[in-house]
Structure 1
Amino acid sequence: MRCLTLAEGARGRGHDVVFVCMKDAMTSYLTRKSFEVVEIMPQDFVPETSPTHVAWLRLPWDIDAARTAEIVLGCRADWLIWDHYGLDARWVGAIQKHTAVKTLAIDDLDDRALGADLVLDQTRLNGSRTYAGSPAMIGPSFALLRPEFAQTREAALARMNGPVRRIIVTPGLMDAAGLALLALDALEDWDGEVEVVMGHASQSRAAVEQRVAGRTGWYLTLDTPDMPERLAVADLCIGAAGMSTWERCCLGLPTVVVGVAANQMPLCQAIDERGAAICLPLDDARSVQRLKAAVDAAIDQTEDMARAAAQLCDGKGTERVLDCLEANLRPLTRDDTRHIFDWRSSPHVQNASLTQTHFSFDSHLVWMNQVLNRTDGLWRIYEEGLPIGFVSAVDHGSGVWLWNFYLGARETHKGAGGRMLAWFLQEIWRDTACERIKAVVLTGNAASQALHLKLGFRQIDNADKGQLLYVLDRPDNN
Structure 2
Amino acid sequence: MRVLIRADASPSIGSGHIARCLTLARVLRGQGAHVAFACRLLIGHRLHALEAEGFETFSLPDFYPGEDPQQSIESLLPWQADIEALEQALADRPGFDWIIVDHYGLDHHWQTAARRLAPRIMAVDDLATRTYSVDLLLNQNLSGTQAAYEGLLPEHCRTLLGPRYALLRDEFRCGAIEIKPKVRRVLVNFGGFDAAMQTHHAMLALADYPELEVDFVAGADNPAWARMQRMAASRPHWRLHSFVSHFHRLMLEADLFIGAGGGTSWERAAMGLPTICIAVSNNQQANSEVMATFGAHVYLGPKEDVTMEQLRQAIGFLVGNQGLRQSLAQRSLQLVDGLGASRVAVAMAGALLQVRPATQADTHLLFEGRNADAVRRVSLDRSPVDWDRHCQWLQGSLVNPQRLLLVGDASDGPVGVLRYDLQGSEALVSIYLFENRLGLGWGRALLAHGEAFATVHWPQLSRFTAQVLPANQASLDLFRQAGFSQGTCVFTRVLKDHPHE
What TM bracket, shorter-length normalisation? Answer: 0.7 to 0.9
Other-structure match for 2:496:
473
Compared CA separation, residues 330 and 253, structure 1 to 2 (3 A):
same
Q: Which moved more, 1:358-367 or 1:296-305?
A: 358-367
* Letter of the 1:44 counterpart: P
SS in 2 for 1:202: coil
* Letter of the 1:342 counterpart: N
Other-structure match for 1:84:
103
Q: Does 1:417 align with 2:439?
A: no
Q: 1:286 aligns with which of 300, 306, 329?
A: 306
Percent identity of paired positions between Structure 1 and Structure 2: 27
Other-structure match for 2:65:
44
TM-score when normalising by structure 2: 0.71
Other-structure match for 1:337:
366
SS in 2 for 1:337: helix
The one-character-per-residue Cα deviations of 1:333-366 (angstroms, maximum 9, x if unpaired) are 433331453269723232xxxxx69696466544
Other-structure match for 1:221:
241
Other-structure match for 2:297:
277
The Cα of 1:256 is off from its aligned counterpart by 1.2
CA RMSD between the two structures: 4.6
The one-character-per-residue Cα deviations of 1:249-305 (angstroms, maximum 9, x if unpaired) are 344422112233343244334444554422232269614454344334433133444
SS in 2 for 1:4: helix
Q: Does the Cα contact within 8 Å between 1:395 and 1:401 map onto a contact in 2? A: yes
The one-character-per-residue Cα deviations of 1:414-467 (angstroms, maximum 9, x if unpaired) are 4443343345456668998588543456695776666555445567xx6xx764
Q: Does the Cα contact within 8 Å between 2:346 and 2:440 map onto a contact in 1? A: no
Other-structure match for 2:287:
267
Q: Does 1:164 align with 2:183?
A: yes
Aligned-partner Cα distance in 2 for 1:197–1:188: 16
Q: Does the Cα contact within 8 Å between 2:98 and 2:120 map onto a contact in 1? A: yes
Q: Does the Cα contact within 8 Å between 1:441 and 1:468 map onto a contact in 2? A: yes
Q: Does the Cα contact within 8 Å between 2:177 and 2:272 map onto a contact in 1? A: no
TM-score when normalising by structure 1: 0.74
* Letter of the 2:37 counterpart: F
Other-structure match for 1:144:
167
Q: Does the Cα contact within 8 Å between 1:45 and 1:60 map onto a contact in 2? A: no
The gaps in structure 2 that reach 5 residues or longer are 1-18
Aligned-partner Cα distance in 2 for 1:428–1:92: 33
The Cα of 1:173 is off from its aligned counterpart by 2.7
Q: Does 1:17 align with 2:35?
A: yes
Aligned-partner Cα distance in 2 for 1:432–1:70: 46
Other-structure match for 2:376:
346
SS in 2 for 1:368: helix
Compared CA separation, residues 115 and 65, structure 1 to 2 (3 A):
farther
SS in 1 for 2:446: helix
Q: 1:4 aligns with which of 22, 29, 37?
A: 22
Other-structure match for 2:6:
none
The Cα of 1:235 is off from its aligned counterpart by 1.7
The Cα of 1:237 is off from its aligned counterpart by 0.8
Q: Does 1:121 align with 2:150?
A: no
Other-structure match for 2:10:
none
Q: Which moved more, 1:370-379 or 1:272-281?
A: 370-379
Other-structure match for 2:206:
187
* Letter of the 1:2 counterpart: R
The Cα of 1:238 is off from its aligned counterpart by 0.8
The Cα of 1:93 is off from its aligned counterpart by 5.0
Q: Does the Cα contact within 8 Å between 1:21 and 1:40 map onto a contact in 2? A: yes
Compared CA separation, residues 23 and 292, structure 1 to 2 (3 A):
closer
Q: Does 1:372 align with 2:434?
A: no
Q: Does the Cα contact within 8 Å between 1:285 and 1:291 map onto a contact in 2? A: no
Compared CA separation, residues 232 and 91, structure 1 to 2 (3 A):
same
Other-structure match for 1:353:
none
Q: Does the Cα contact within 8 Å between 1:66 and 1:95 map onto a contact in 2? A: no
Q: Does the Cα contact within 8 Å between 2:177 and 2:273 map onto a contact in 1? A: no
Aligned-partner Cα distance in 2 for 1:53–1:473: 44
Count of aligned residue pairs for this structure pair: 455
Aligned-partner Cα distance in 2 for 1:424–1:90: 33
Aligned-partner Cα distance in 2 for 1:196–1:412: 39
Q: Does the Cα contact within 8 Å between 1:329 and 1:380 map onto a contact in 2? A: no
